Structure 1
Amino acid sequence: MPASPRTDSALLIAVLDGVYRQPCARRVARRLEKIQGVLAVSIHLPTRSAFIEYDPALTGPAAFQAAIKEAGYGTLASTDRHSADPGLALLAVNRELARYRYRTAASILLWGAFVFAGALQFSVYSAWLLATVLVFWCGAHFHRGALRAVTTLSPDINLLVSFSSLLIYAQGTAAMATRYLSLERDYSVYWPELAALIALTNLGQLLERQAASSHAKTLYDLLSAFPRLARRMVNGREEVCDAEQVSPGQTLSVRAGEQIPADAVVLEGPSTVDESLITGSQRPARKLPGDKVWGGTHNKTGALLLRSVSTAASMFFAQSIAQVWRAQSRRRTPRSAADTAALILLPALFILAVFFSYPAYAAEPRWLDGLLAALEKAAALLAAGTPATLSLAAPLVFLFTHDRAEREGMRLHNPSAIEGSEKTDSLSIEQTGTLTMGKFSLTEVVPMGGDEAALLRHAMIALQDTGLPHLPALAAAAKSRKIECPKPDSTAVLPGRGAVARYGTQTVRAGTLKWLMEEGVSADASLDDRCSLLLGVSAGSTLLGLLRFADAKRPGTKEAVDAAKKFGIEPTIISENSEGYVTAAALDLDIKRRAAEVLPENRAEAVLALRREGLHPAVMGQGLSGAYAMACGETGISSSVSGPLDAVYSDIALAEPDFSAALKALLLLRRARTALRRNLLIAVAFGAALILPSAGLLPWKIRPESLSAIYLAANLLAVAVLAAHSYTLRRVRI
């Protein structure tokens, strides 16, 4: 759970330009953290958003933009969530995507123009002019990325494409100059190969950004979840202000349908509040004076008068999101496969170019002729050996993996989860609804005073407005006994503990015996010695009785657990249920690692304990309460695809909290990673094969025009092979 925040801090969210990989995010975060007054920085890589908490008396947005620029990156948009419309950030991301579309379309058209240059009868100078547009407009982002890679000493695919394209362009410019100066020899140019390199690399990066375009909507949803305006009471009158101006201790007025601007305590009510943003529950919670409400949630029915206990920046929702992102940014995600390949190819191609260019230089009597000949040979090698399809390897795999996930009832949010799936060797789950059906039956009613009807009536008072999975069985038992169950005045759900309701002057609780005893109820913890789910029911400090529930095991769960072990994935239970109940389920399914009576706010620490033991767990969770635990794992798996901010919390989401589905998701990620590796090998193999004719290593001589046709056919064939291989992910058996 978030640590106690400062109440005088402010919060800014910036959409970053050029930050697509974890090393980039870490560089930006380190630069921002050096600014005096910055309290915390976290970066959410899928949405490329920096979450900056700071002291407004010491620093501000101008300093952040300067620091990001010094790190070699930029900002597409930034907002403090109140002074700007959240749609501006969405618009900025969509504009960037549109620019990629224009540059990709232009580079593909230029590629076609160079392929049919003979039919179009381009002059030497018009071809050079088109090549200039191709290199310095269609490929401008490669050169900016290459400059960042050099300054940060982290070679990537941008540096490889920039180096190759600039050398090929320089050779073509030199060849044009020889014709202009009417020198004795004409030199070959490689404009079609240059166009293919830039066009296909642009296409790959466009597909990558297009596949992640849903994150722009996620970012909009996130920014919209933060309150923008507040009504505060000043001298008995309402005053509308930015939510950022709310401070602890102020009196706030919230009308029906409005958003609660900060964490607060109810002074006057009643009303119902939609707390799905925090709890994940779709059932509105009834609020009375004295109850706590969360900032960012929505008041539904009546007017509320509140006393704020936080600022908009320090409210629970904001601090939880920042904490989740910080945990995600600390993950040791591997370098992207394309960047790893580029890191190896760049020096290899450079060495080959020098090795084969030197004989051409030495064979010429004049140094200028030798230099031009060497440049021609180097350009030929780079045009052939730089895999134009390298950037297509990953996005094609992601597209077909995403499509397969959708067909399986899943949703893949984070493409980097594919490359990080190799380390995953454990699956941390919650017991209820994951290994079991989550459909309880009431097996035993144990009244302490002999009044079974009073026990069931008070249990219904505490639980009927909670939506907890025990409710249907309890309601059926009360109905069969014709027990009337009055509505409570207010109800609050405490995850991992139970529910508390106020009814008249009574405080009614239904939950674990451990929690009831912490609340001053006289109970004996030894009563919970059987392998079932036990709820105690109390009125005030008096224990009224016990309710025992049973939950059926999901069909196929035992087989799925055995299959997980076969694939090297160790199941682990981290549950809020009682020790006896968890132990019985673990023994039944032969699960060795388990932890019982772990409250939701402590589950992340249990996950970190697994990591300290050397495991790399994937973690299942739901909503904001499980978000931090998911972020602490190697892969976050949400047990719901319908959460309002699900893509912010998790890497992949399931249609339902089923162990078999979670295992299938992990195996799909592993299959996708294998396909990605093969795609890289295919792309590099095509480039390596083209080096042979370009270096003159074949036993027969190939004319330049034939060589150009071979390059074109090889690139098109490589695209077809990559697409066909990636398409197998739609049909592969999991």
Structure 2
Amino acid sequence: MSQASSATTRFRVEGMDCASCALKIETAVRRLPGVAAASVSVQAGTLIVEHGQGFEADRVTRQVAGLGYGVRPANAASPTTQAAPCCAHAHADHAPAPPHDHSHAPAAVAPAAAPWWRSRKARQAVICGLAIVLAWMSGRIWPASDLWVFLAALLVGLLPIARRALAAARAGAPFTIETLMTIAAVGAVAIGAAEEAAAVVFLFLIGEILEGVAASRARASIAGLTALLPKTALLQEDGSAREVPAETLIPGAVILVRPGDRIAADGLVLEGESAVDEAPVTGESMPKLKAPGDTVFAGTINGEAGLKVEVTAAAADNTIARIVKLVEEAQESKAPTERFIDKFSRYYTPLVLVAGALVALVPPLVYGQAWGDWTYRGLAVLLIGCPCALVISTPAAIAAGLAAGARRGLLMKGGAVLERLRQATLVAFDKTGTLTEGRPVVTDIVGLGRTDDDVLALAAAVETGSSHPLATAILSAAGERGLAVPPVFSVKAIPGQGVAGVVDGVGIALVSPRAATERSILLPEQVARIAAFSDDGKTVAVLLINGAPAGILALRDGLRSDAEQGIRALRDMGISAAMLTGDNPRAAAAIAAPLGIEAHAGLLPQDKQRQVLAWQSEGQVVLKVGDGINDAPALAAADIGIAMGGGTDVALETADAAILHGRVADVARMVRLSRQVMQNIAQNIAIALGLKAIFLVTTIASITGLWPAILADTGATVLVTLNALRLLSPRLD
């Protein structure tokens, strides 16, 4: 199929809770005309279909609904009927969805599923359990009817499972848990173990309910972010405010945020100053002071004063919606380990059927053993061998890791990124805005015949109205000291030199040291002081009054408060760090020296990329951390590119990963999370295979039978899922 003719459609699938569901749906959908590929994410509850000519979305909905799942295009409204979460697949019946626009709509958060006790699966388990109790009581009263009453109880639970096994086989997926369960139950009846077969089916249904509950918790971990958004907002129009649905806000609208309210949209503060709690979105523990011109995020909580905010993003594009979309798409992207396990499972289930047959046939045929005993053990092997726990071991941990990262402001675009991070050996940082705050501050003021406050006030006067970063720093410093800034007249910029104006009839200029030398005579001690500031990587400005030097100001973009902690954390993990910057060597050295890292300065974007490639040629696994724009070539060349804070657009759309709240220490946290996830995956695989091995040995040794064999599958699946959910614990941070 040509690339030009291919398209992608995303569907919502309800009722999945294990990898068996995903494999069955993928196999069935791939067989449809016009479908090039299909990929299912149990964690995200989505089906991604790549297709070309001849594709009909109605066929997808009919095919998936025929397997017992609720399905609809991702951009369609939620159906009124609710599929029961399950893997034994007693789902609610769903009619085929009507045709929709099948363009690739943005991922949206799936609606919350009904409580497990209201599902058809739960009702089926209750009915099956009651039938077994009645059968047991009936058998005690009329012993001759024992076989038939337990057979009736068995059919209550088994018939829906067998029906779905048949539907899956017709759709091209004959090797499913339903198939194994049906064969085992029918075989048990054939050897006179109807009572035990009924108990096995009941335990299977209970186990699958537990799987559904665990899977729902995993999905809710990220979908719960949407609950942070308020339903309404106070829209200001024509001098008055009225309450409107938050989802109707559009860019340019102005909203009022009262103290204690959640902010309804991303925006810029127009009026007011208040501390805003950003912990729900970025994980930042301390509230941030917001003033006019500052950015605020949807879902964050306003503090003690009201704010007037201009909306900058619609509801579908706000920070929380985009985080949810990014994490959901990341969950749909399979990690290398997950792809290997998926491929392995396609061969594993048929091998289990063969193994069960060999256990049942070889001892009686070759060694003359009792047929009943070994047939019983062979049936137990079928139940032990179900691949659900093994196949869910990796995606459950990946999904929990991605969700845990998102809740800490650490976004990773897929399981492959999360898996690769743990292998990092070197982190290459940009300087400005990454290791530093990205904005200069006044560090030194030297008065030459005037007080420091006079120098700063006059410098602020000529910079009034300017948006240049140095001007902003000087004005901020004057404001922090509470200085009265005198009015200025006849302000003009001096290209390449500085700015000049008239204050109280006196000519004032704030210029570079080179321009000051050209305009005035600087004393040797003044030149030495300027040189010392420059050697420290500071930017120097000289204040001239009527052409004579009156003061010196030094400014520098300071280190982030956690830069040293972040570099030290990486070093403790055995990861080295370096700096790549286009700034001059002196400025780079001034930042790198206290951090104890190597600095590569004066680099163009292509030079940064070349250095990353050179490190990789030496065998290093390189993480590149930058702003996602001028570092784009290096971010692309690195093994993992990480966008650091700054603009939300950059953080969410550039590189392989993003750190929302711009902390250097979060790079180490991201690597640590990757290592925890991979350790969790190893534990999950050990649990899944270990339980199977234990029960396989005890079954062949005739220590355990059919109903304990269920624990090797559904029990292991629950344990694996719960173990993965541990990654969501804040104690692991």
Contact 1:43–1:329 (8 Å) recurs in 2 = no
Looking at structure 1, the residues matched to 721 and 15 of structure 2 have their Cα atoms a distance apart, in angstroms, of 27
Looking at structure 2, the residues matched to 108 and 274 of structure 1 have their Cα atoms a distance apart, in angstroms, of 54
State the one-letter code of the partner of 2:355: L
1:364 shift after superposition: 14
Matching of residues 518-667 of structure 1 within 5 Å: 531-532=536-537, 534=539, 547-549=554-556, 551=558, 554=561, 557=564, 561=567, 564=570, 567=573, 569=575, 571=577, 581-582=587-588, 584-586=590-592, 588-591=595-598, 603-604=627-628, 609-610=633-634, 612-613=636-637, 615-621=639-645, 624-628=648-652, 632-633=655-656, 635-639=657-661, 657-659=663-665, 661-667=666-672
SS at match of 1:443: strand
1:382 shift after superposition: 0.6
Q: Of the candidates 196, 208, 212, which is equivalent to residue 219 of structure 2? A: 212
Alpha-carbon spacing, 1:508–1:613, altered in 2? closer, same or farther (3 Å): same
Corresponding residue number in structure 2 for 1:442: 442
Looking at structure 1, the residues matched to 685 and 394 of structure 2 have their Cα atoms a distance apart, in angstroms, of 8
Q: Kindly indicate whether residue 353 of structure 2 is the aligned counterpart of residue 356 of structure 1.
A: no
Q: Of the candidates 669, 672, 683, which is equivalent to residue 674 of structure 2? A: 669
Looking at structure 1, the residues matched to 713 and 434 of structure 2 have their Cα atoms a distance apart, in angstroms, of 47
Looking at structure 2, the residues matched to 612 and 671 of structure 1 have their Cα atoms a distance apart, in angstroms, of 26
Per-residue CA deviation, residues 52-98 of structure 1 (Å, 9 max, x unaligned), is: 9xxxxxxxxxx9964863784723874699xxxxxxx9997223564
Matching of residues 409-558 of structure 1 within 5 Å: 410=408, 420-424=418-422, 425=424, 427=427, 431=431, 435=435, 442-445=442-445, 452-457=456-461, 475=476, 480=481, 483-485=483-485, 531-532=536-537, 534=539, 547-549=554-556, 551=558, 554=561, 557=564
State the one-letter code of the partner of 2:350: P
Corresponding residue number in structure 2 for 1:345: 348
SS at match of 2:483: coil
Alpha-carbon spacing, 1:223–1:452, altered in 2? closer, same or farther (3 Å): closer
1:680 shift after superposition: 1.4
Corresponding residue number in structure 1 for 2:61: 69
Corresponding residue number in structure 1 for 2:98: none
1:667 shift after superposition: 1.6
Alpha-carbon spacing, 1:247–1:638, altered in 2? closer, same or farther (3 Å): closer
Looking at structure 1, the residues matched to 42 and 541 of structure 2 have their Cα atoms a distance apart, in angstroms, of 44
1:548 shift after superposition: 0.5
Alpha-carbon spacing, 1:313–1:570, altered in 2? closer, same or farther (3 Å): same
User: Which of 273-282 and 609-618 deviates more?
Assistant: 273-282
State the one-letter code of the partner of 2:679: T
Question: Which runs of 5 or more structure 2 residues have no equivalent in the other structure?
Answer: 1-8, 50-54, 65-69, 79-106, 141-145, 500-508, 516-532, 544-550, 606-623
Per-residue CA deviation, residues 680-729 of structure 1 (Å, 9 max, x unaligned), is: 122212213323454x4x4xxx38xx535764787899699869987998
Alpha-carbon spacing, 1:27–1:343, altered in 2? closer, same or farther (3 Å): closer
SS at match of 1:353: helix
Alpha-carbon spacing, 1:77–1:439, altered in 2? closer, same or farther (3 Å): closer
Aligned length: 598
Contact 1:46–1:212 (8 Å) recurs in 2 = yes
State the one-letter code of the partner of 1:561: I
Per-residue CA deviation, residues 131-153 of structure 1 (Å, 9 max, x unaligned), is: 4454566x7998699679x66x8
Looking at structure 1, the residues matched to 578 and 118 of structure 2 have their Cα atoms a distance apart, in angstroms, of 44
Q: Kindly indicate whether residue 175 of structure 2 is the aligned counterpart of residue 171 of structure 1.
A: no
Contact 2:513–2:542 (8 Å) recurs in 1 = no
**TM-score after normalising by structure 1:** 0.55
1:223 shift after superposition: 10
Looking at structure 2, the residues matched to 134 and 536 of structure 1 have their Cα atoms a distance apart, in angstroms, of 83
State the one-letter code of the partner of 1:670: R
Contact 1:604–1:628 (8 Å) recurs in 2 = no
Per-residue CA deviation, residues 243-288 of structure 1 (Å, 9 max, x unaligned), is: 999999xxx9867679999999x9xx9867999999998625369x
State the one-letter code of the partner of 1:75: R
Looking at structure 2, the residues matched to 274 and 670 of structure 1 have their Cα atoms a distance apart, in angstroms, of 38
1:484 shift after superposition: 1.5
Corresponding residue number in structure 2 for 1:94: 112
Per-residue CA deviation, residues 335-362 of structure 1 (Å, 9 max, x unaligned), is: 6487466445313312312433444896
Per-residue CA deviation, residues 557-603 of structure 1 (Å, 9 max, x unaligned), is: 37x536636756454657798775445434543246789899x9993
Alpha-carbon spacing, 1:613–1:710, altered in 2? closer, same or farther (3 Å): same
Contact 1:320–1:624 (8 Å) recurs in 2 = no
1:483 shift after superposition: 2.1
Per-residue CA deviation, residues 318-350 of structure 1 (Å, 9 max, x unaligned), is: 998899689858966346487466445313312
1:199 shift after superposition: 3.4
Higher Cα radius of gyration: 2
Alpha-carbon spacing, 1:584–1:135, altered in 2? closer, same or farther (3 Å): farther
Looking at structure 2, the residues matched to 571 and 24 of structure 1 have their Cα atoms a distance apart, in angstroms, of 41
Contact 2:427–2:577 (8 Å) recurs in 1 = yes
Contact 1:428–1:571 (8 Å) recurs in 2 = yes
Looking at structure 2, the residues matched to 352 and 433 of structure 1 have their Cα atoms a distance apart, in angstroms, of 60
Question: Which runs of 5 or more structure 1 residues have no equivalent in the other structure?
Answer: 1-11, 36-41, 53-62, 82-88, 179-184, 233-239, 487-502, 539-543, 641-656
State the one-letter code of the partner of 2:224: K
Alpha-carbon spacing, 1:295–1:417, altered in 2? closer, same or farther (3 Å): closer
Contact 1:441–1:551 (8 Å) recurs in 2 = yes
The share of aligned pairs that are identical, in percent, is: 14
State the one-letter code of the partner of 1:356: V
Alpha-carbon spacing, 1:556–1:380, altered in 2? closer, same or farther (3 Å): same
State the one-letter code of the partner of 2:460: L
Contact 1:607–1:632 (8 Å) recurs in 2 = no
Per-residue CA deviation, residues 170-229 of structure 1 (Å, 9 max, x unaligned), is: 435x53xx8xxxxxx77885444444445334423421321331433334557969x999
